[in-house]
């Protein structure tokens, strides 16, 4: 990351030293105050919910399966994603047109790309885990061994580095000749690229390629996995078996639907059909709302997590009954 920032400082001859995050400054101040309280509440619930998932899946021996190992990694990603975006956004709701330094903007964008790409790949890994568990249960312990799970998780995390490094370095090596108002609540690439005073067509082609690789390709892998999963479930002879199999993947399927529906609407819609305000609303969905819903979905829809939570609370309180 330090090497990336040195490259930006050395290669960029911009006269812009800071950016202004426009955020929701067009809204009335009283509405901004309400949004601040709402987003602060969501932010705290997100952090507490994901920390709780991490603690429960670590402390309870019944949740040592690969599914909960990947869920724990997802919670770490969601916490990082939130820490990158939400605190600065909350600041923009208190102070009109909050400034962010040139390097601060580059840093925020870098980690936004990193956590976003890593989450896409991790969701695909979790879908593969459910595919093996349901479609090939006899070989599941062998295929999804502890070593294999660690390698898949590491690969998911590592996938964020190349896209973050290439995208951020390229964007901030462009010259910025004066306008510095980013019409967003964080340093996302489209509103920042709009301020560049150079030809960005080659970068936009590369950005589209990266978007296809790190958003659409994992989505297609997830879609293919669930087509095979549903096909296997429908062939099961007993209704109880179908219900049990579907319940193990329904939470993940719901999380994937929430994440990808908003991400695809944000990054695959034509520019002419997307206003800056509508893009802000879509961005709120996958940067603020979805990370909050993930631990809620996995807690309320998963009996094993709820039972483990009760056991952890019971051990914390002592031998008395709940």
Give yes or no for residue 319 having a pLDDT over 60: no
Q: What is the mean pLDDT of residues 138-162?
A: 94
Grade residue 322 by pLDDT with cuts at 50, 70 and 90.
very low
* Predicted local confidence at residue 10, as pLDDT: 46
pTM over 0.75: yes
Q: How far is CA 3 from CA 6, 106, 110, 263, in A?
A: 5, 12, 12, 29
Sheet containing 18-21: give its strands across. 98-101, 18-21, 181-182
Range with lowest mean pLDDT among 71-80, 167-176, 190-199, 297-306: 297-306
Cβ atoms < 10 Å from Cβ of 303: 9
* Predicted local confidence at residue 79, as pLDDT: 94
Q: What is the mean pLDDT of residues 134-148?
A: 92
**β pairing state of 98-101 and 18-21:** antiparallel
C-alpha 272/C-alpha 259 separation (Å) is 23
Grade residue 255 by pLDDT with cuts at 50, 70 and 90.
confident
pLDDT tens digits for range 43-70:
999 999 999 889 888 887 777 889 889 9
Range with lowest mean pLDDT among 86-90, 184-188, 307-311: 307-311
Give yes or no for residue 154 having a pLDDT over 50: yes
């Amino acid at each position: 990351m330090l090497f990336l920032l040195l490259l930006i400082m050395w290669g960029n001859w911009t006269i812009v030293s800071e950016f202004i995050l426009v955020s929701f400054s067009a809204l009335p101040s009283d509405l901004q105050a309400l949004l601040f309280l709402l987003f602060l509440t969501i932010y705290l619930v997100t952090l507490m919910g994901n920390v709780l998932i991490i603690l429960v899946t670590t402390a309870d021996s019944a949740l040592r399966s690969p599914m909960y190992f990947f869920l724990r990694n997802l919670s770490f990603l969601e916490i990082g994603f939130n820490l990158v975006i939400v605190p600065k956004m909350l600041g923009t709701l208190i102070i009109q047109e909050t400034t962010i330094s040139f390097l601060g903007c580059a840093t925020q964008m870098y980690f936004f790309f990193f956590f976003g790409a890593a989450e896409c790949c991790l969701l695909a890994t979790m879908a593969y885990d459910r595919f093996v568990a349901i479609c090939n249960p006899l070989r599941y312990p062998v295929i999804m061994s502890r070593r294999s799970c660690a390698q898949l998780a590491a690969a998911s995390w590592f996938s964020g580095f190349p896209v973050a490094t290439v995208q951020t370095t390229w964007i901030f090596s462009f010259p910025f000749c004066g306008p510095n108002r980013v019409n967003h609540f964080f340093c996302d690439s489209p509103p920042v690229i709009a301020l560049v005073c150079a030809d960005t067509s080659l970068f936009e082609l590369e950005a589209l390629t990266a978007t296809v690789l790190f958003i659409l390709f994992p989505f297609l892998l997830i879609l293919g996995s669930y087509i095979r999963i549903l096909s296997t479930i429908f062939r099961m002879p007993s209704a109880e078996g179908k219900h049990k199999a579907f319940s193990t993947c329904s939470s993940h399927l719901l999380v994937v639907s929430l994440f990808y529906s908003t991400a695809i609407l944000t990054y695959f819609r034509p520019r002419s059909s997307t206003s800056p305000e509508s893009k802000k609303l879509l961005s709120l969905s996958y940067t603020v709302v979805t990370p909050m819903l993930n631990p809620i979905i996995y807690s309320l829809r998963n009996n094993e997590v709820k039972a483990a939570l009760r056991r952890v609370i019971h051990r914390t309180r002592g031998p008395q009954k709940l």
